[in-house]
Amino acid sequence: MMISAVMIGALAAVPAAIAGVVYARSAKANLAFFNPVNGGGSWLDNAGVGVGEPLNVIISGFSSPDVLTDDGIVNYARAIGFSEECFGIHIGTPQSANLGDGNGFVNQTIELRQDFGSSGLGTCLESLVGGNHFRVYRQNGPTANSGALFLAVSKEEDVFESHNIIPDGYDIGRDMLVTAATGTTNFGGVTYTTQVERMANLMPSGSAGVNHGMLLCVL
């Protein structure tokens, strides 16, 4: 059985207590992550028409290296109640993000949806009735190569509401994911130990530039 250590940063726009954390350090990481703004990036991805969705959870570059790979994030997602999209089909244009790492805007690596306890077919239910989901972006450019994964997490309405974000859905989705991930989880023979650090005042509060006009301020 493999054991992986994972550090999740949950971003908020108001102060919060910071928990002490111990992590397994990735061989490539000098920092847990680089602030995208310092490299000309943004805490919002690009959802089109001049708005974006918040990158409100970070899987630190100090996490076990296997978690930070494409296959690793999928297995970790399954351990915390998410899986790949229904039959691997993605409808809609992929969103992009600039993580300030020198790569400019890069399309999402993958989108993962709440699976309601079934890693095989559960995401088909999410596509119908709505639920939590997240997009993954990797910070690995030439000027800020932390290896960290930036997640845009949100809870959405059902298909009849065109999968719009529910009221306060960015903060609610973030907190649902963090609650599911905290502590010990497992999937596919891998056991994960995840600790969470709340990071305040990195992401600006308010609704300026935010998709669906949501207000970002609630822990």
What pLDDT, on a 0 to 100 scale, did the predictor assign at position 23? 38
What whole-number distance in Å separates Cα of residue 82 and Cα of residue 158? 17
Q: Helix, strand, or coil here: 115?
A: coil
What pLDDT, on a 0 to 100 scale, did the predictor assign at position 213? 53
What pLDDT, on a 0 to 100 scale, did the predictor assign at position 58? 95
Supply the DSSP symbol for 5: E
Domain coverage including residue 116: 2-201
Residue 215 counted as domain residue: no
Residue 206 counted as domain residue: no
Residue 208 counted as domain residue: no
Residue 177 counted as domain residue: yes
What pLDDT, on a 0 to 100 scale, did the predictor assign at position 88? 56
Residue 63 counted as domain residue: yes
What pLDDT, on a 0 to 100 scale, did the predictor assign at position 162? 58
pTM, two decimals, is 0.84
Q: Are 102 and 142 in contact (CB under 8 A)?
A: yes
Residue 218 counted as domain residue: no
Domain count, the chain: 1
pLDDT under 50 in the chain at which residues?
12-26, 87, 214-219
What pLDDT, on a 0 to 100 scale, did the predictor assign at position 17? 27
What pLDDT, on a 0 to 100 scale, did the predictor assign at position 60? 94
Scan for tokens 């130990």, then name that residue: 193
What pLDDT, on a 0 to 100 scale, did the predictor assign at position 116? 78
Q: Helix, strand, or coil here: 181?
A: helix
